[in-house]
A = this chain, B = another copy of it.
Amino acid sequence: MTEPEIEVVVVGSIGIDTITTPTSRRADVLGGSASFACAAAAKFARTGMVGVVGDDFPVAGRDQYAALGIDVSGLQQVAGKTFRWSGKYEANMDVRHTLVTELNVLEQFDPVLPPAYRRAPFLFLANGAPDRQLRAWKQMEQPQFVAMDTMDLWINIAIDDLRAMIRKVDLLTLNESEARHLTGVHALPAAAAQLLTMGPQYVLIKKGEHGSMCFSSAGTRLLPAYPLGAVQDPTGAGDAFAGGVMGALARAGTVTLDALGEAMCWGSVVASFAVESFSLDRLVEVSRATMEARLAEYRRMLMA
């Protein structure tokens, strides 16, 4: 028996996080952009992870990836300590402070894609240094669809590399403050119009609890977020959303604005589960049936 083909390759960070919320604290849990994006994408399509961890990476982390069905043949383990991040949320979870960032093995990360990944149709360059995103992208043979995420840090310290990378992708996703930061334009339709001139065919703006907006020359799609009663930990919500979008697109097989709109609904549903627990805990346990029930409820809310 041969392994099923990899449909979505995700390149990004893998971290050990320590999270403090107003009511709780969790030390040394699995995090990073690739962890959340892979966990979400793997709900829909065969997903391969490209990242690096140190020799301190816990077996329990690999167990979680296995439970999620993520292919980890692109996961490197090297001497040194795994990337560590620590953050604290204020009372309403809407403001976050970074307490500690230790790059550790992430500093020298050189993404290497296993041969089976290079033929994959979908590539998601989750948040990470744009020069590493580029190195990963160059190893792909002829991907059907490439998306990338980014963050303020790279706009501040690597704008030229970032612009070069943005030129090469089909979809750029980022949050609303990053879209404004990168363009200097406040109104999101105008900011998105400017981002579209930088190369991508689609610009997907993430607004957290306020939903998401996808802009393209073919039109715009607006999606409010699934309304949650209780958020336990918002860390990784944006990565899970984007990973869910990519997984759902890969399952659909073709990318159109309508397919993206549908994939955004799935991304929003997966992200809504991600924030119901710390780390990947809820994503590990949530069943397909539970996800489909929430999607059906969500569609009624959307009048769609």
Chain A residues in contact with chain B, CB under 8 A? Answer: 91-92, 186-190, 207, 210-211, 213, 219-224, 227-231, 258, 261-262, 300-304
Can you add 15 more A-B contacts, CB < 8 Å, to A187-B229, A211-B211, A302-B302?
Answer: A189-B227, A189-B228, A189-B229, A190-B229, A207-B210, A210-B211, A210-B224, A211-B224, A213-B224, A219-B300, A221-B303, A261-B303, A262-B303, A303-B304, A304-B304
> Across the two chains, which residue of chain B brings its CB closest to A261?
B303
A190 to B304 Cα, complex, angstroms:
24
Q: Separation in Å of the A279 CB from the closest CB of chain B?
A: 21
> Across the two chains, which residue of chain B brings its CB closest to A213?
B227
A211 to B229 Cα, complex, angstroms:
18
Measured between beta carbons, the chain B residues less than 8 angstroms from A190 are 229
Measured between beta carbons, the chain B residues less than 8 angstroms from A187 are 228-231
A261 to B219 Cα, complex, angstroms:
23
Measured between beta carbons, the chain B residues less than 8 angstroms from A91 are 186
27 of the cross-chain contacts (CB-CB < 8 Å) are A91-B186, A187-B229, A189-B228, A190-B229, A207-B210, A210-B210, A210-B211, A210-B224, A211-B211, A213-B224, A213-B227, A219-B300, A219-B301, A220-B227, A221-B303, A222-B224, A222-B227, A222-B301, A222-B302, A223-B303, A258-B303, A262-B303, A302-B302, A302-B303, A302-B304, A303-B304, A304-B304
